[in-house]
Amino acid sequence: MFNIGVDFGFWERFYGSVDYFNKTSDGLLYDVPLALQNGLNSITMNAAKTVNSGFEIVLGANILRSDVVWNMDLNASFIKDEIKDLNGENDIKMTDYQKIWSVGGSQYEFYMPTWAGVDPQTGDALWYKVDDSGNRTKTNKYSEATYERQGRSTPLVYGGYTNTLSYKNFDLLIQLNYNIGGKVYDNLYANLMHDGTTPNNNMHVDALNAWTTPGQITDVPKYSINNSTSSSSLSTRYLYDATNIKLKTITLSYTLPKNLGLFSKVVAGAKVWVSADNLCTWFADKDYKGYDDLDIFGIHAYKMYPYSFPTPRTFTIGANLTF
């Protein structure tokens, strides 16, 4: 592993650091595909090689240093992964997370058909198919749709932004987290927009926008009991831009003065505080309707429900006493 960095500060007010790293990992566990006549479709071996590289940047400033003290910190991580070897194989479909592994590509590249909307005359779901010459046409048969690379689940940059303010005995901390770039697949929404494939299951309110009349413009195909058109199957219909900013933490604390008579003789120091975590998340893609906590997906950004749950929104009141 190669790592180099620099720390800096100037005017006793601004500070930061920049780090670059490049790490090669060889002999990684990997399910090597086998011919079907072997009785198994794969065997786990130490056969993969990847390289991870990127920059990590921290910038900070002591903005105010009078009665009001205001400190600000911003960090950003730019990380890229690249597959170097797959034991001689290439373009391996990783169906557990709907990815494709290719030498020179990313481990986190989504691979699925491209959604082409709804036919306004018939209400059929449409996908793109690509011929050998690269010509793109639409089809209403899911089996004819072409699987394509749809972008990585990992962000271009992610990090946090923290402000701390102090005035007399009061302290306020506000922390924001952000992700720029990346994709996320909303499988929960896909299950609720089944278009009649599982008619006994619940549906999302968006199902009310389903096609009903020739000439109708909508993004929801016609509803059909026991629908066999695969209209809700894996495609970019449910793939979204994962760019977001989250209000992660707000904490307000108050340090009690030390001149409280008998109380101060017993307690050397006391602080009371209230805190709220995971308050809300704003997504750049307004069509995204899934959980506002992408941590449940991990870096694959694809997870089957109901086996994942978001981090809860919490409110806490506490006190620290020093004797």
pLDDT greater than 70 at residue 249: yes
Residue 48 backbone dihedrals phi, psi, to 5 degrees: -105, 155
Separation in Å, CA 154 to CA 23, 78, 182, 241, 289:
17, 10, 5, 11, 19
Given a contact cutoff of 8 angstroms between Cβ atoms, the answer to whether 270 and 319 are in contact is: yes
Distance CA 253, CA 258 (A): 16
Comparing CA positions, the residue from 82, 275, 33 lying closest to residue 174 is: 275
pLDDT at 151: 92
pLDDT greater than 60 at residue 237: yes
pLDDT greater than 70 at residue 272: yes
Cβ contacts of residue 124 below 8 Å, gap of 6+?
118, 140, 221, 222, 229, 231
Residue 204, both tokens: 């999302």
pLDDT at 292: 77
pLDDT at 12: 84
Confidence of residue 78 (pLDDT cuts 50, 70, 90): very high
pLDDT at 191: 87
Confidence of residue 264 (pLDDT cuts 50, 70, 90): low
pLDDT at 31: 75
pLDDT greater than 90 at residue 125: yes
pLDDT greater than 70 at residue 111: yes
Distance CA 294, CA 214 (A): 38
Separation in Å, CA 256 to CA 6, 164, 273, 320:
40, 19, 11, 10
For residue 306, is the peptide bond before it cis, meaning its omega torsion is within 30 degrees of 0?
Answer: yes
Comparing CA positions, the residue from 36, 218, 49 lying closest to residue 124 is: 218
* Averaged pLDDT, 110-135: 94
Confidence of residue 301 (pLDDT cuts 50, 70, 90): confident
- The predicted-structure confidence for 205-223, as pLDDT tens digits, reads as follows 999 999 999 999 999 999 9
* Averaged pLDDT, 83-103: 85
pLDDT at 216: 94
Confidence of residue 71 (pLDDT cuts 50, 70, 90): very high
